[in-house]
A and B are shown apart, each in its own frame.
Chain A
Amino acid sequence: MPSPNQTLREVLDLAAAHFKVPREKLTPDDDFFKTLGIDSLQALDLLTRLEQHFNVELPDYELQGVSDFRTLADRIQARR
């Protein structure tokens, strides 16, 4: 299974590429709503892309209160 750090790197890479934010501006503990400048609908879009990229399911309620990349990657890691 890929390591948690690799999952985190892929989350950051995907978010930076899709929302066209320089990768070096993203850090694991960033609030992704603020750093990416996205709203809840775009967060849903990110969620769907992450599900497809990692081939996992991420029910909305698993992500309630989650706003930083590190916790998001942890939730994904639990389902890989």
Chain B
Amino acid sequence: MSSGRSRDDTMASFRGEALSWELRDGVIELALHRPPGNEIGTLILCELEKFVEGLEEITRQAHALIVYSTIKAGFSAGADLRELFDGAQRVSKTEAVRGVRDFLERIHRVMNTIDALPLTTIAAVHGVTFGGGFELALVCDLIVADKMARFAFPELRLGLIPGFGGIPRLKRDLGNAVVRDLLLTGRSFNAAKAQSAGLVSQTVAEGESLRIARSTAAQLKKFDRQTASAAKRFIKPVPYDELKRSRSGTKKIRGEHRRATVLAVSVGWVSDPPRPVKGTSPHELRVAISR
């Protein structure tokens, strides 16, 4: 079926090539079904835009949104890098950069709209939940994960920074996701759960910490240093403003925090094939921070 709305489709129900949605008993279910791995390219983006366009109409009748995948491999393998790369080969470098930026701005609008929806949103994930797929899950209020789900941001392997807004959302949600789980469900945690909430990065066998730290350090060495450094600045900035407020004893936080959205365009990527970063291969990153 074409991605356009058929005669039988209403805003409460739609079946496209890449995704479908249905409003039933106050719950909107958004299913991703674009083989092989729900890669987020132009088709999924267009249908997600169609979805968010109609949300104002159907959210009045809904209290929850569930996003899930019908693909066996998993929730989503992330951005369709092959499509973006192939597209970039057919145009000039300037047009390619503009095209990537336009794509990122559009996906950010979709992500931000779902993120701010006035209903509870749940990502029901299984299998591969990588890169842009992980970022899509992160816009939801709750992530319900099949025990076989795997999460990853493999972008650095390609000399990229996650560009769909995943970094600021990860910063927001690590810890906060646990708080929301406690607050919204009223559940209790045991010590093991508290450990899994993120106080420790890895757990290893007795006497193995140094060897595995060395193994980890060896892995880090494979990435382009500037790219890794740029990623670190996003994920771990010194919170000067918050430190200043705590020093001055200010209790009131003025206004609503404006979340920064991050657009990261790797000029090296749009002019060269995606490839693992090894050694010190330079990748010029053009990073635009929009609010």
Contact = CB atoms under 8 A, between A and B. Distances in A.
Contacts, number: 39
A66 interface: no
Contact of A1 (B127, B148, B205, B215): B205
A78 B211 contact: yes
Given A44-B128, A57-B202, A78 B152 contact: no
Interface residues of A, number: 18
B148 A62 contact: no
A48 B150 contact: yes
A57 B203 contact: yes
Given A41-B73, A41-B128, A79 B219 contact: no
A59 interface: yes
Nearest to B73: A41
A44 B203 CA distance: 19
A60 interface: yes
Contacts of B150: 44, 47-48
Given A41-B73, A79-B208, A59 B148 contact: no
A62 to B, nearest CB: 6
Contacts of A41: 73, 128
Interface string B206-225: 10100110011001000000
Nearest to A58: B202
Given A41-B73, A78-B212, A59 B128 contact: no
A52 interface: yes
A57 B202 CA distance: 7
Contact of B204 (A52, A60, A78): A78
B205 A60 contact: no
B147 interface: yes
A22 B266 CA distance: 48
Nearest to B218: A61
Nearest to B148: A48
A2 B204 CA distance: 15
Contact of B148 (A45, A57, A60, A80): A45
A77 interface: yes
B97 to A, nearest CB: 30
A21 to B, nearest CB: 19
Contacts of A52: 147
Contacts of B205: 1, 56, 77-80
Contacts of A45: 127, 148
Given A1-B205, A62-B212, 13 more contacts: A41-B73, A41-B128, A44-B128, A44-B150, A48-B150, A56-B203, A59-B202, A59-B216, A61-B215, A77-B205, A78-B208, A78-B211, A79-B203
Interface of A: 1, 41, 44-45, 47-49, 52, 56-57, 59-62, 77-80
26 contacts: A1-B205, A1-B206, A41-B73, A44-B128, A44-B150, A45-B148, A47-B150, A48-B150, A56-B203, A56-B205, A57-B202, A57-B204, A59-B202, A59-B219, A61-B215, A61-B216, A62-B212, A77-B205, A78-B204, A78-B205, A78-B208, A78-B211, A78-B212, A79-B204, A79-B205, A79-B208
Interface of B: 73, 127-128, 147-148, 150, 152, 202-206, 208, 211-212, 215-216, 219
Q: When A and B form their complex, which 8 residue pairs have the shortest distance between CB atoms, in order from nearest?
A: A61-B219, A80-B205, A79-B205, A79-B204, A78-B208, A48-B148, A57-B202, A78-B205
